[in-house]
Amino acid sequence: MKKNRAVIGLIVFALILGLLGYTAVFGVGSDKSGSASSIKLGLDLAGGVSITYQVVGDEKPSAADMGDTIYKLQQRVDNYSTEAQVYQEGDDRINIEIPGVSDANAILEDLGKPGSLYFISQTDSEGNQNYGGTYGVDADGNIEIQYILTKPIDELLADGSIVLTGTEVVDAQAKARQDSMGNVENVVTLVLNDEGKDAFAKATQKAYDNGESIAIYYDDKFVSVPNVQAVITDGNAVITGQSSPEEAQRIASTIRIGGLKLELEELRSNVVGAQLGSEAIHSSLIAAAVGFVLVVLFMIAVYYISGLAAALALCLYTELMVILLYAFEATLTLPGIAGIILSVGMAVDANVIIFARIREELATGKTVQSSIKIGFSKALSAILDGNITTFIAAVVLYFMGSGTIKGFSITLMLGIILSMFTALFVTKFLINALYAVGIQSEKAYGVGKEKKTINFLGKRKFFFGLSAAVIVIGFVVMGVNQSQLNMPLNYSLDFVGGTSTTMTLNEDMSIGEIDAQIVPMIEDITGDGNVQTTKVAGSNQVIIKTRTLNLEEREKFADTMADNFGVDKSSITAETISATVSSEMQVAAVKAIVVATMLMLLYIWFRFKDIRFGASSVIALIHDVLVVLAFYAIVRISVGNTFIACMLTIVGYSINATIVIFDRIRENLRDKKDRETLEELVNRSISQTLSRSIFTSLTTFFMVAALEVFGVSSIREFALPLIAGIICGTYSSICLTGAMWFVFRTKFVKKAAK
């Protein structure tokens, strides 16, 4: 790169950095599009809409029907936000909390009336018309057929004219396909259960023979009235004739929401305030600033000019992350902020790998320019393998996960793409440009020193024993917790539910004041720090969620509020609520993690041509998860929504560290020294990557430690196990993975020889 081009390039980069920085902070246009303030925030940061539905009917619904309804509603409200929550209240109520929205009526109108979907035959058994059509004009002035029922629904049910209800519909999806003429048409596909399949086969046979239609009727309106063009016997139907993808999506969504097992009616709806006050956001921003400055100072102090280039690229990374979060309409919660702050620390990983390679080349006597070129080239495979492996996991989590899992995966995918872009292109451009403008001294980049080989494998039995002991202790502690407290871990309300108490205060108190004055008294009553508070907007009403309270504790709660805050005891109501993380969501998360792990194993096997690399990586992941689980059990940290995100972060962090070491082993195997044993080669590989492992851990540690020091309590509950995970991941990648691969390799070789 010539000097003039380098100068122009640096000026252009500075302008882009400034422009994106302004956009990230202040946005563009009157709506501040693209700025941090325009990103959707979760219920904990910005509040939203809370809706309570009541099951229609006098009979108590079964637990299975309630669980199925909650799961399907969760899938429906995920369209608004991946952070939306659906949970049971009492025996026959369902609560929906959707963050980032403020119009409860619009949400109710869109959700409609769950559980009132019917498929109606055009004629009854005697040939009488069940519905008829007249020509009318729609809201846009277009002529359309408007249908009306000729009989009430009760009568249609009695005479068998309703051939299906929503409960027989397993799924409905909007799709695009080619028709017989090769044109793209918008359709809705239906999948029916076994009961619905048989009923629909009979109904479509009758309709096909008589040239009739079967109407889809929902919430007192006709959704679609398609003519039956074939007898459908396999339970898979296709509705054609939709004029646009949006119309097909609307019909599919309507059928899904109408396919609930229970019919619900609105009981109440409120706009609720943020669960956490402005102090939480303020303290998180302080943590971000402190952690970011520490990372920048560390990179410059250790890597000099290369570190400066990485710091500038890191600024660009942060700005692009903010803008893309807005562009992808991601909903950001407080744990999400923690995850992004953590990703900033992890984003330097690729840079550390590259800079270590550059220093190694300088140590062999190569020129600075040649070392930069070779350093980027040699670091490429480790960076690609580590990021692609984690990206595979993120994609699986996005398609198989739900709720916070899906939100986490979006942030993770964005972070991986931006990290690779800034490291492989932006940092490379900046280093070459700084070299071209005259910073060409070896001292400005740092020359690597000969690394002493440490005999890690010689201590492998000790490391294996230490890891096994920690894991066993964790299981023992969980067993003790189970026997004494009926829970192996300190599950939060997200996992086990509890009691939701609603009361009206005599004065308007902020969330900060409630947390400071009321929450400590509640914690004294419950003996538990797991308390969540929410305010109903425009009123003095407060909703407080705690672990399940018995009758005596509920009375003590009411007395305390009346004596200390003058609350009218008659205004206090308490209901038992279910977990917000349903069993279906937990199962979906486990399935997603298992599939992601298997795909990572296959990718590592494919790239390294040795299944033992993949097996060692997976065992290390399981080890890290079990050790952090032991940490949760021993320290009794609350296991809530952030638990899943924490574990996934640790898995991603661990696999990256492991692949860097395996990449070096693979490289050294190709250029094996004479008379060097396999054990010596593995020890040399681990020692060569030791600085990368330590430095990356330190930069990530800076970010997480800042959260622990400056964050609010919920953030600290996220940061502390992450610190344990960083330490554990570093330990396992250095002390266990190479040793496990060596054991597998030598054991299998001996068996093959025999």
DSSP 697-738: HHHHHHHHHHHHHHS-HHHHHHHHHHHHHHHHHHHHIIIIIH
CB 200, CB 164: distance < 8 Å = yes
Say how many C-beta atoms besides its own lie within 10 A of residue 271's C-beta. Answer: 17
Strand-by-strand arrangement of the 184-192 sheet:
169-178, 184-192, 236-242
CA dihedral 272, 278, 279, 285 (to 10 degrees): 130
Whether residue 175 is found in the same domain as residue 198? yes
Q: Tell whether 517 is covered by a domain.
A: yes
Whether residue 80 is found in the same domain as residue 164? no
CB 117, CB 169: distance < 8 Å = yes
Whole-Å CA distances, 335 to 324, 408, 412, 702: 18, 9, 13, 17
* DSSP bridge pairs for 96: 51, 86
Whether residue 633 is found in the same domain as residue 703? yes
* DSSP bridge pairs for 186: 176, 242
Whether residue 523 is found in the same domain as residue 653? no
- Strand spans (E) along 466-529: 498-504
Q: Tell whether 220 is covered by a domain.
A: yes
Whether residue 377 is found in the same domain as residue 408? yes
Three-state DSSP class for residue 133: strand
Q: Which residues of 514-532 are buried (b: 16+ CB within 10 A; e: fewer)?
A: bbeebbebbeebbeeebbb
Both structure tokens of 450: 């000969």
* DSSP bridge pairs for 640: none
Whether residue 307 is found in the same domain as residue 388? yes
Residue 618's pLDDT is 87
Domain stop point among 259, 290, 316: 259
Question: Which residue is listed with tokens 């971000």?
Answer: 288
d(CA 387, CA 416): 6
Domain stop point among 558, 577, 596: 577
Both structure tokens of 664: 């070096």
- DSSP-derived secondary structure for 606-637: HHHS-HHHHHHHHHHHHHHHHHHHHHHHHHT-
Question: Which residue is listed with tokens 């550059």?
Answer: 358
d(CA 81, CA 58): 33
CA atoms within 13 A on the CB side of 196: 18
- DSSP-derived secondary structure for 514-578: HHHHTHHHHHHHHT----EEEEBTTSSEEEEEESPP-HHHHHHHHHHHHHHH---GGG-EEEEE-
Whether residue 423 is found in the same domain as residue 523? no
User: What is the total residue count of the chain?
Assistant: 754
Residue 125's pLDDT is 86
Residue type, 36: A
Residue 748's pLDDT is 64
- State the helix-helix crossing angle for 583-608 and 611-635, rounded to 10 degrees: 150
Residue 584's pLDDT is 64
Residue 28's φ and ψ, nearest 5 degrees, are: -125, 145
What's the pTM? 0.72
d(CA 22, CA 34): 10
Instruction: Identify which of 613, 618, 611 has the alpha carbon closest to the alpha carbon of residue 593.
Output: 618
Whether residue 612 is found in the same domain as residue 681? yes
Whether residue 293 is found in the same domain as residue 242? no
Both structure tokens of 127: 């040939």
Q: Which residues of 211-223 are buried (b: 16+ CB within 10 A; e: fewer)?
A: ebbbbbbbbeebb
- DSSP-derived secondary structure for 194-225: HHHHHHHHHHHHHHHHHT-BEEEEETTEEEE-
Q: Tell whether 331 is covered by a domain.
A: yes
Both structure tokens of 365: 């006597």
CB 80, CB 98: distance < 8 Å = yes
Q: Which domain holds residue 679?
A: 457-475+582-753
Whether residue 161 is found in the same domain as residue 219? yes
Rounded (to 5) percent helix, strand, coil in the chain: 60, 15, 25
Helices then strands (H, E): number in the chain?
A: 25, 19
Say how many C-beta atoms besides its own lie within 10 A of residue 240's C-beta. Answer: 15
- Can you list the residues of the chain whose pLDDT is less than 50? 750-754
Q: The domain that contains 207 carries what CATH number?
A: 3.30.1360.200
Given CA atoms 7, 8, 9, 10 in this order, what sign does their dihedral have? positive
Residue 341's pLDDT is 65
Instruction: Identify which of 35, 621, 641, 703 has the alpha carbon closest to the alpha carbon of residue 343.
Output: 703
CB 49, CB 66: distance < 8 Å = no
d(CA 53, CA 113): 10
Q: Tell whether 514 is covered by a domain.
A: yes
Q: Tell whether 388 is covered by a domain.
A: yes
d(CA 24, CA 452): 45
d(CA 249, CA 556): 50
d(CA 306, CA 246): 50
Q: The domain that contains 359 carries what CATH number?
A: 1.20.1640.10
Both structure tokens of 189: 């596909």
Whether residue 188 is found in the same domain as residue 249? yes
d(CA 678, CA 744): 12
The secondary element (H helix, E strand) that includes residue 655 is helix 641-670
Domain stop point among 206, 224, 259: 259
Bridging pattern class, strands 93-99 and 85-89:
antiparallel
Q: Tell whether 493 is covered by a domain.
A: no
Question: Which residue is listed with tokens 């009430």?
Answer: 152
CB 561, CB 503: distance < 8 Å = yes
CB 164, CB 203: distance < 8 Å = yes
Q: Tell whether 702 is covered by a domain.
A: yes
Whether residue 131 is found in the same domain as residue 155? yes
Residue 713's pLDDT is 67
d(CA 125, CA 109): 35
Separation of first and last alpha carbons in the chain: 58
Q: Tell whether 75 is covered by a domain.
A: yes
Number of domains in the chain: 5
Three-state DSSP class for residue 33: strand
